[in-house]
Each structure stands twice: as C-alpha cells, then as structure tokens.
C-alpha cells in the first residue's frame, strides 16, 4: 500500500472515530463498510453508552 493510500485511510478512520467515540472495533467495521460500499447498522444501549454492536451487510 502506498503512503498516500495509507494517509487517506487514516484520514477516513479519523473522521469515523469522531462520530463513534471509544469503539475501536466499531470504527474499524464502519471504515471497512464504507470502503466496500456496504451498509452499517450501529446498535447501542443508551444506558451503557460504551457498548456498541456493529452489524455489517452487503448491498443488494
């Protein structure tokens, strides 16, 4: 992977991390889904904001 591609991937990951705070696995899953043009459903319980489950699906 080229340095430019790594920098762009890091920038995308950084932006996703701004919206999904403290959930590294969810940030990774959302980033992958964005790169492959997939769908992401984030589910979490408002009582426990640190818990977040990420379900990925492929577009039809």
> What pLDDT does residue 49 have?
47
Residue 33's domain spans which residues?
3-57
pLDDT digits (tens, 9 = 90+) for 4-58: 999 999 999 999 888 887 788 888 988 999 889 888 887 765 544 444 445 444 5
> What pLDDT does residue 7 have?
95
Looking at the 3D structure of the chain, how many domains does it have?
Answer: 1
Give SS3 for 2: coil
Chain-centroid distance of CA 37 in Å reads 12
CA distance 6 to 54: 24
Give SS3 for 47: coil
């Amino acid at each position: 992977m080229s340095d430019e591609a790594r920098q762009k991937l890091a920038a995308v990951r950084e932006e996703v991390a701004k919206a999904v705070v403290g959930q590294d696995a969810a940030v990774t899953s959302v980033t992958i889904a964005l790169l492959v043009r997939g769908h992401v459903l984030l589910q979490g319980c408002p009582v426990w904001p640190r818990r977040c489950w990420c379900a990925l699906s492929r577009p039809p």
